[in-house]
Structure formats: C-alpha cells, structure tokens
Amino acid sequence: MASRRSESGGATLRVRAQDEPLADAAHALALALAAAGARTLGFDQLAGRSVHVKAGALGGSAGWRYGLRRLCGGALPREREYANLEWLRARRFLAPEPLACASVCSGVRARFQLLVTAAVPGATTLEELLRDGSEVARRAALAELAREVARFHALRWVHRDLFPRNVLVARSPDGGSLWFLDCWKSGAPRPGRGAAYDLACFLLRAPELVGAELQREFLEQYFDGRSVQGAAVRDRARFLAALGAARAGLVARLAARPAEWRGHAAPVERWPMV
C-alpha cells in the first residue's frame, strides 16, 4: 500500500493506492481533474494499466456533510467504495480491483474525490443481459446473483444500491460472472436498509425485465442460498412483506423523479410477481 499527501492553496490532497507507481499516477490525475472541476466517468490508462476512473467535485451541502464526516473519522464515498471493493474481493466475491482513491479537502469542507479501479474486460451490465440475453443466460445469471447475494447477506453485509445496472457480467478465470460495483453505500444492515431493501432495488424493474416466473425462481434460490449459508430467513412472509414495502417506496420515489427513469417507462407499481 502506498499513499501521497500534498497541500496547495489551503487544500489538502490525499491519495491511497495499491503501489508506488499507482500512487504517483493517481496523485497527478487527481490534481488535474480537481483543477478542471469536471465530473469524470470512463476508461483510461494509468501507470500502464487499463482502468476505470470515477471522479468529481463535491459541491454545496454534500461538500460540508462529507467534510464533517471525514473530520469525525469517516470517509468520503469514493474512499468507502475502495474499502468495500477490498472487502468483497477478500471474501472471494467478484468486484473490480480497487487501485487508488483520492480526496481534496479544504478545512472542514470536502471538495473532490476520485476512485480508480481495474477495468473488467468485455463486461456488460446485468440490466443489459436481463433485457437482451437468452433465456439460458438470464436464468444462469439470476441463479448466480441469488447465491452471491445470499452469501453476502449471510455475512451481515448489504449493498444498498443493488440495481441491475450496478452488477457487471463478465466471465472470470476463477469461475463466476457477476461483478459487484458502485458499493459506496454498502456495509452492515441498518433499519430500512437491510437484505429486503437490497432485493427491492434489484426487483424494482423485474416485472419488465424478467417476469413473474423468473422472479419466483430467483427468490426461491435466494432463500435456499441463505439456508446453505446457515443464515436462513426464518419468516419468509414477513421478509417478502418488507421487500414489497421497500419496493413500493422506491416506486413512489421514482414516480416523483422522472429524470431518474434512465430511459425506461415508469416502474410497474403492482407487485409481487407481475
């Protein structure tokens, strides 16, 4: 592990990286992107590696909120995401390899953050596969997702943003094909943001993407996976009620924010198993 710290104009830049070359490269990249002030999301080359870069300014109330959290010993979202990717990979889940993260703070206020991960070659999103893939590919992906989500829920870890767009599909040499990303909100369950909420996020668009039969199969495989992990869902009816309530909350939130529909129609309100 390597780190860098520099100060300029009352702002402090901190970098954490896998090794010294990555730390130097990430430091230079963070300086350039922070000066430009633009949001960056895409692929690049860094220290001889093909990488994905996610960076942007923290403005308004978010800058103050995350700055105060950092002052109290917390981390910025991209720093938390780096740590959560490490957590996943240490437990043999598929996740992009975290290479570097950086932050710029001025006193209490956080101003900029960056995350660099290794690229996942040939990846598509689970959303694309469920929309356009063959029946065989869709069933295989749903079965794998059920097993892996059951496994991290059994470890008392929840994703909190488990939409199909936040899962990549690419065959790994070690087996498996689903890669979890965008996990900056992830961690231990908390009221209203536990296992049922994770499944509600995933199933928000399920009526359009997979239909009733595959939803039932997915949930049965999830419950079976929890049992295999020694963390069985004791009251399935109560769990499904919590899932439905969480999904209804997501539907209501989206109904009020059409800009977040991402090219889809309004989500189907009626559930379960539409």
Reported as a single tens digit per residue, the pLDDT across 51-73 is 999 999 998 899 999 888 888 88
At 270 the pLDDT is 87
Q: Are 71 and 63 in contact (CB under 8 A)?
A: no
CATH superfamily ID and name for 124-260: Transferase(Phosphotransferase) domain 1 (1.10.510.10)
Tokens 């909190």 correspond to what residue? 160
CB atoms within 10 A of CB 86: 13
Q: Collect contacts of 86-91 with beta carbons under 8 A, ≥24 apart.
A: 87/157, 88/152, 88/180, 88/183, 91/152, 91/155
Does the pLDDT of residue 264 top 80, yes or no?
A: no
Reported as a single tens digit per residue, the pLDDT across 190-229 is 999 999 999 999 999 999 899 999 999 999 999 999 999 9
Start-end ranges of CATH 1.10.510.10 in the chain?
Answer: 124-260
Does the pLDDT of residue 255 top 90, yes or no?
A: no
What's the burial of 223, exposed, middle or buried (CB within 10 Å: 0-12/13-18/19+)? Answer: middle
Does the pLDDT of residue 143 top 80, yes or no?
A: yes
